[in-house]
Amino acid sequence: MSFVIAIDGPSGSGKSSVSRAVAQRLGYAYLDTGAMYRALTWWCREQGTDLADTEAVAAASRTLPLDMITDPTAPGVRVDGHELEPAIREPAIAQVVSQVAT
């Protein structure tokens, strides 16, 4: 039997910190879905995709060479082999990621 634990809450409420701690303590993988949206946002900007065009964003998501490192002690996000931290945490991404995530 496998389990999936989801933690939801507002921005800045500590979801990532709690999730990583729980995953580490239980020996589970840690998947930061917020980082996935941020990586897609970064990719769209790199590709010149209009973030307001939902079909274009969806198409870009299908070409995104994403690799999520799920080790809770050292999580990471790679696109096309390149580590994206801290680029996906920059204000320019934070300001527009909601356009991709909705």
What single letter denotes the amino acid at residue 102?
T
For the chain (102 residues), the mean pLDDT of every run of 10, in chain order, is 88 91 96 95 97 97 97 95 94 95 87
Q: What pLDDT does 90 receive?
A: 95
Order of strands, edge to edge, in the sheet holding 76-79?
66-69, 76-79, 82-83
Q: Where are the domains of the chain?
A: 33-101
**Cα(49)–Cα(51) distance, rounded to whole angstroms?**
6
In this prediction, residue 11 carries a pLDDT of 80
Residue 1: the pLDDT is: 78
**pLDDT reported for residue 12:** 84
